[in-house]
Amino acid sequence: MLFTEPLFLFVFLPVCLISQLLVKNVTARNVMLLVMSLLFYAWGEPVYIFLMLATSLLCWALCLWMSHSKRSGLVFALSVAAALLPLLFFKYGAMITGLINLIPGLNIPFRKPALPIGISFYTFQIITYAADLYRGETSAQKSPLSFMLYISLFPQLIAGPIVRYTDVERQLAERPITAPMFSDGVLRFVVGLGKKALLANTVGKVVADIFANPLDELGAVGVWGAMLCYAFQIYFDFSGYSDMAIGLGKMLGFTYKENFDHPYISRSVKEFWRRWHISMNTFFRDYVYIPLGGNRRHQLFNMLVVWSLTGLWHGAGPGFLLWGLYFFVLLSIGRLLGERLRLPAALAIPFTFALVVFGWTLFYFESMADLGCALRIMFGGGAAADPLSLNLLRAALPTLGICAVGSTPLPAKAAARVRRALDGRLWTALCAAFTVAMLFVSVAAIIGDTYNPFLYFRF
């Protein structure tokens, strides 16, 4: 079940919201929300839901034991291992087996299983809870129901953002749902739905149509144009999902931190990574980089570990690792040269964006042969252009222009200016009209188009 499916929008979500609004007792609301969250996950994962339940309950029990144990370090290690082992098996089992089979005489068979939806996200949430508990930054959650709700809460269960337990601990016990909070949540959800349905899907279709042709028949303009479209697709797809998750959280009384902050206006690669997928970067900073020593010792080594893991977090393919190492090199150069790399904003923003778009090329191609072919074409090893790509990109120019503006703070600033100029009731009416119109147009676009992937579900 996806946020963009009519069954979710018009059946599941209304039933869930009505039940939360009508029931005042928090424990009863938590039970109902947990049931709805498990139904949501079971819709897409009727088998792997038991894996999520077993992993979560085992780690909850281990963490509860850790809070009372004199050997808390050992129990902490066990809880992290219990959370990571399923992820290692399902996501990296083939890669690990392949490496083991490099040993002469070994040929261990391994058939790669389907990847459980959201396993990377809920695994990282379990680890944040265990680590914060071990460091004394939170207290143990004694209720398995509350812990399971934290792990399985459907708005952010399958594609993030990664929510730290300390951010929602109080809201699990008490969360009033106010009218302003609910209306803000509805608006935020619909904006995210529009990003996904109207922008990400549109430019994503261009990418799919261009790369439906043999790579060696494409020109440099076609490949670069496709990667530009992909840059906007992955941004509006993932930031749109995060907007929907944050909006749904508000409707249910939960406040999630922002996951994106207009990353494509960054003046440096370092700034880009402060603005892109903030919850993931915060995780690696707080639970990997700083414990390794951070800036205090072995800084470049720590960065290498973090960016290797960042690449591998997205998948076990060599392209993901190469993508992570690419940003390690860029960030290392930036750290070594420091102020000497500073450019005027008019140059720094497009330069950084170009570096990021090239990085998405490493991210996109799963085959090293396809990646090599694409890079050869992009840097002059083929035709300058091909007619089919030119026609597709020409037709996509209006959408690309909207994407370019939509990825900046300009729409939010324009809305704030209109809000200051209008009477409060008129602004409320305008927001209501916008919400209804955006919902209608987005649902119509989804129903009328078979191309509707969520990119981050596969991570």
> Active-site residue numbers?
314
d(CA 211, CA 222): 9
Considering only CA atoms, which of 41, 33, 58, 245 is closest in space to residue 146?
33
Helices (H), 153-219: 154-157, 165-173, 179-194, 201-210
Task: Find the angle CA(439)-CA(444)-CA(446) to the nearest 5 degrees.
Answer: 95
DSSP letter at 338? G
Within 10 angstroms of residue 232's Cβ, the number of other Cβ atoms is: 27
Chain position carrying tokens 């129990």:
75
How far is 142 from 65, CA to CA, in rounded Å? 10
CA dist 63 and 422 (Å) reads 52
Q: What's the sign of the alpha-carbon dihedral 306, 343, 263, 255? A: positive
Q: What is the CA angle 21-241-85, rounded to 5?
A: 100
Smallest Cα–Cα separation from 278: which of 229, 238, 326, 329? 238
Structure tokens at 33: 């929300």
**Spatial contact of 186 and 151, defined as CB atoms under 8 Å apart:** no
Neighbouring CB atoms inside 10 A of 243's CB total: 24
Cβ burial, residue 415 (10 Å; 0-12/13-18/19+):
middle
Q: How many CA atoms lie within 13 A of 259 on its CB side?
A: 27
